[in-house]
């Protein structure tokens, strides 16, 4: 009897947490199909409304933000950042892990020290730098500063330290160059850590608001977070349904990515913690 | 720390060309990263410090020593913003981590049916972009929003969540807790699932009940993770920007102003680069100190 009671209590507590976690997301999608009257009515409607088309039309003709262009920008920027940052930082991690060379420990200490410095310290100098390089309002303004991933070097160095030496030696005897040993043997066998790092870098780029807000002023260059924040702020009379529809559309790529790469997501988040 | 030395392991191949190649190789691997690291991280950090010692006038730097930092010491709005994140830190992080520890344990219970679905639900908030979820909460917490409707069912009068100095920080904490608890649950759940079942089996043979097992096995084993989560949450809270930017714009009356939001306004709305850089460095020093203290404390506790 006591066991049964505590089992149902367990389920009730979990279901309450589950509903609180899921409800705001459900509401975001539902509100995207509703009109302001439905959203703000005396008895709120929690089911699909009839204003999807009207909201979509309002979103397409709002004149300040092109949500699909923002999704494209975000995909290119987060994707580009991930490819370059993961390539560079994993190569550096391999260099630190597998070779003896002069100044190795000093350089590594400097790199690690940068892990302590929060990103907003570089905000103003990077803005000045980007202005001088004429990169304001370009993809590069977002991608370039995100390339040196100190955490990535650290994570990959840890992974490469335990890479089996025999495999590398065997490849050397076969006459492979050091670079092709790395790209043809080490990289394919380190896929799980590399994909975890990719997820971390991609998520950081995808959700960043502060830096894109600083360097993107032209609506055609907005990323998703910037576009959503602008969409809300330019309205004099807020159209809740339209904003929620935009938020829903902007959420879809991440949900699709998660559905495809569920395992990598979880391990990516975990490795971000076990450093 | 000692990595294997390929130069030694290759001696039997005896090729001098090969050894010369090995001298250059490490730099080949490091150069792309180091160049980007120097240009986009080291140089900006140093430059930022120089700007913080200067006054920025029409694109030129005029050296002013510690003037900006002295100004900062007497800036009430800056101190208020620090106090705000301090309050959020002390209230929100413990609540969030307690909730995460409880829910991770419940989701790990073998008696829970439909575990996979529940875990997915708790993870869902993590997948929602920070701006998107802040927008959702700015509507849910609006004067005639759903939360006020809901508390009205219990006879509680509507609360002005976003536009009153008493409630604005609480509104931000509600939103943050919704978004970040699931994140912490996933990490804790991973740690709990890696505890060998045999430990629990041995404990139940000794007659330890579920609660006792939780207190004497699960909790101590995930304690380091919890402490690490608290360090990362501390750093994250001190850098809070997106949520107050969207939900309250730091208002009303600076009641939800945060240091980074203040920095953003000073730098990119008022264009006081020197002063904003001083704010940035002050916050950076604070973050470094707090995370060192927290890690020290956790290490000492682990040693006992």
Whether A99 sits inside 8 A of B25 (CB atoms) is: yes
Measured between alpha carbons, how far is A2 from B120 in angstroms, rounded to an integer?
A: 29
C-beta separation of A167 from A141 below 8 A: no
Per CB-CB distance under 8 Å, the chain B contacts of A174 are: none
Whether A228 sits inside 8 A of B126 (CB atoms) is: no
Per CB-CB distance under 8 Å, the chain A contacts of B131 are: 209, 224-225, 228-229, 247
pLDDT digits (tens, 9 = 90+) for B188-219: 998 998 888 888 888 888 888 888 888 888 98
A121 touching B (Cβ < 8 Å):
yes
pLDDT at residue A77 in the model? 97
Q: What percent of chain B has pLDDT over 70?
A: 90
Query: Domain B70-303, CATH 1.20.120.640 — does that match?
Result: no
Of B33, B127, B178, the CB nearest to A89: B33
What is the mean pLDDT of the segment spanning B90-116?
93
List the single residue in B with minimal CA-CA distance to A116: B288
Question: Domain extents for chain B?
Answer: 6-52, 70-303
Q: Which candidate in A17, A34, A169, A203 is best for mutational testing of the B interface (most B CBs within 10 A)?
A: A17
pLDDT at residue A3 in the model? 67
Q: What residue has token string 């002390």?
A: B90
Per CB-CB distance under 8 Å, the chain A contacts of B55 are: none
The number of beta carbons lying within 10 Å of the beta carbon of residue B196 is: 8
A256 touching B (Cβ < 8 Å):
no
The number of beta carbons lying within 10 Å of the beta carbon of residue A255 is: 14
Whether A88 sits inside 8 A of B136 (CB atoms) is: no
For every residue of chain A, DSSP letters joined together read -HHHHHHHHHHHHHHHHHHHHHHHHHHHHHHTTS-HHHHHSSS---S--S-HHHHHHHHHT-SS--HHHHHHHHHHHHHHHHHHHHHHHHHHHHHHHH---TTHHHHHHHHHHGGGS-GGGGHHHHHHHHHHTT-TTSHHHHHHHHS--HHHHHHHHHHHHTS-HHHHHHHHHTT--HHHHIIIIIHHHTHHHHHHHHHHHHHHHHH--HHHHHH--SGGG--HHHHHHHHHHT-SS--HHHHHHHHHHHHHHHHHHHHHSHHHHHHHHHHHH--
pLDDT at residue A2 in the model? 61
Q: How many domains does chain A have?
A: 1
pLDDT digits (tens, 9 = 90+) for B166-186: 999 999 999 999 999 999 999
> Residues A169-190, buried b or exposed e (16+ Cβ, 10 A)?
bebbeeebebeebbeebbeeeb
pLDDT at residue A49 in the model? 86
Q: What residue has token string 């490795």?
A: A271
pLDDT digits (tens, 9 = 90+) for B8-61: 444 445 566 667 767 788 999 999 999 999 999 999 999 999 999 988 776 778
pLDDT at residue B11 in the model? 47
List the single residue in A with minimal CA-CA distance to B272: A124
Whether A210 sits inside 8 A of B242 (CB atoms) is: yes
Domain range spanning residue A47? Answer: 6-273
Per CB-CB distance under 8 Å, the chain B contacts of A172 are: 6, 10, 13
List the single residue in A with minimal CA-CA distance to B278: A121
Q: What confidence tier does B3 reach under pLDDT thresholds 50, 70, 90?
A: very low
Per CB-CB distance under 8 Å, the chain A contacts of B13 are: 172-173
Would you tell me which residues 23-62 of chain A have a C-beta closer than 8 angstroms to some C-beta of chain B? 24-25, 27-28, 31, 39-40, 44
A110 touching B (Cβ < 8 Å):
yes
Residue A1 lies in a domain: no
pLDDT at residue A264 in the model? 83
pLDDT at residue B18 in the model? 67
> What residues contact residue A168 under an 8 Å CB cut-off, 6+ apart?
A98, A181, A185, A186, B6
Per CB-CB distance under 8 Å, the chain A contacts of B58 are: none
What is the mean pLDDT of the segment spanning B153-158?
93
C-beta separation of A266 from A199 below 8 A: no
Round the average pLDDT of chain B to a whole number and report it. Answer: 88
Residue B255 has phi, psi (to 5 degrees) of -70, -20
Residue A16 lies in a domain: yes
pLDDT at residue B12 in the model? 47
| Bridge partners for A65 per DSSP | none
Whether B48 sits inside 8 A of A124 (CB atoms) is: yes
Per CB-CB distance under 8 Å, the chain A contacts of B263 are: 120, 123
pLDDT at residue B303 in the model? 56
Whether B128 sits inside 8 A of A251 (CB atoms) is: yes
Written as tens digits, the pLDDT of chain A (275 aa) is 566 778 889 999 999 999 999 999 999 999 999 988 888 777 777 888 889 999 999 999 887 899 999 999 999 999 999 999 999 999 999 999 999 888 899 999 999 888 888 888 999 999 999 999 999 999 999 999 999 999 999 999 999 999 999 999 999 999 888 899 999 999 999 998 999 999 989 999 999 999 999 999 999 999 999 999 999 877 667 789 999 999 999 999 999 999 998 888 888 887 765 44
Q: What value of ipTM does the predicted structure carry?
A: 0.91
pLDDT digits (tens, 9 = 90+) for B213-266: 888 889 899 998 898 888 889 999 999 999 999 999 998 999 999 999 999 999
Residue A251 lies in a domain: yes
| CATH code of the domain containing A103 | 1.10.3720.10
Whether B44 sits inside 8 A of A125 (CB atoms) is: yes
């Amino acid at each position: 009897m006591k066991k049964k009671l505590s089992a149902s209590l367990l389920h009730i507590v979990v279901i309450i947490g589950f509903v609180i976690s899921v409800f705001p997301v459900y509401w975001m999608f539902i509100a995207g199909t509703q009109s302001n009257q439905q959203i703000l009515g005396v008895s709120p409607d929690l089911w699909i409304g009839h204003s999807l088309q009207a909201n979509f039309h309002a979103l397409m003709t709002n004149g300040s933000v092109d949500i699909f262009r923002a999704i494209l920008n975000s995909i290119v920027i987060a994707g580009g950042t991930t490819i370059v940052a993961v390539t560079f930082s994993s190569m550096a991690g391999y260099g630190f892990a597998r070779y003896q060379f002069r100044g190795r420990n000093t350089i590594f200490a400097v790199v690690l020290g940068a892990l302590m410095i929060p990103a907003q310290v570089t905000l103003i100098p990077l803005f000045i730098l980007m202005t001088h390089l004429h990169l304001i309002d370009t993809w590069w303004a977002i991608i370039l500063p995100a390339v040196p991933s100190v955490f990535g070097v650290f994570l990959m160095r840890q992974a490469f330290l335990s890479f089996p030496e025999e495999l590398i030696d065997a490849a050397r005897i076969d006459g492979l160059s050091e670079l092709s040993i790395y790209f043809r043997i080490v990289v394919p066998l380190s896929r799980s850590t590399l994909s975890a790092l990719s997820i971390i870098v991609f998520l950081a780029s995808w959700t960043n608001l502060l830096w894109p807000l600083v360097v993107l002023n032209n609506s055609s260059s907005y990323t998703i977070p910037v576009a959503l924040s602008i969409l809300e702020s330019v309205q004099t009379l807020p159209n809740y349904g339209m904003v929620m529809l935009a938020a829903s559309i902007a959420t879809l790529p991440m949900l699709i990515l998660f559905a495809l790469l569920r395992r990598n997501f979880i391990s990516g988040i975990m490795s971000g913690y076990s450093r | 720390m000692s990595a294997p030395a390929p130069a030694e392991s290759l001696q039997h191949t005896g090729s001098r060309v090969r050894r010369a190649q090995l001298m250059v190789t490490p730099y080949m691997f490091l150069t792309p990263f180091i160049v980007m690291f120097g240009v986009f991280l080291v140089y900006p950090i140093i430059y930022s410090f120089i700007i913080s010692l200067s006054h920025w006038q029409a694109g030129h730097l005029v050296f002013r020593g510690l003037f900006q930092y002295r100004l900062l010491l007497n800036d009430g709005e800056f101190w208020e913003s620090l106090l705000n994140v301090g309050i959020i830190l002390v209230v929100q992080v413990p609540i969030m981590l307690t909730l995460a520890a409880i829910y991770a344990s419940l989701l790990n219970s073998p008696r829970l049916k439909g575990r996979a679905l529940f875990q997915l639900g708790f993870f869902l908030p993590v997948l929602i972009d920070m701006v998107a979820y802040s927008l959702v909460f700015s509507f849910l917490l609006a004067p005639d929003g759903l939360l006020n409707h809901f508390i009205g069912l219990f006879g509680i009068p509507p609360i002005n969540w976003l536009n009153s100095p008493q409630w604005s920080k609480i509104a931000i904490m509600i939103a943050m807790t919704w978004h970040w608890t699931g994140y912490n649950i996933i990490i804790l759940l991973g740690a709990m699932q890696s505890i060998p079942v045999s430990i629990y089996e041995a404990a139940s043979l000794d007659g330890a009940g579920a609660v006792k097992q939780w207190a004497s096995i699960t909790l101590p084993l995930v304690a380091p993770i919890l402490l690490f989560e608290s360090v990362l949450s501390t750093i994250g809270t001190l850098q809070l920007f997106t949520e107050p930017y969207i939900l309250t714009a730091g208002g009303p009356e600076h009641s939800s102003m945060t240091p980074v939001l203040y920095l953003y306004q000073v730098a990119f709305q008022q264009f006081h680069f020197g002063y904003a850089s001083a704010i940035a460095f002050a916050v950076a020093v604070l973050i470094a100190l707090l995370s060192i203290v927290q890690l020290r404390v956790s290490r000492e506790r682990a040693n006992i």
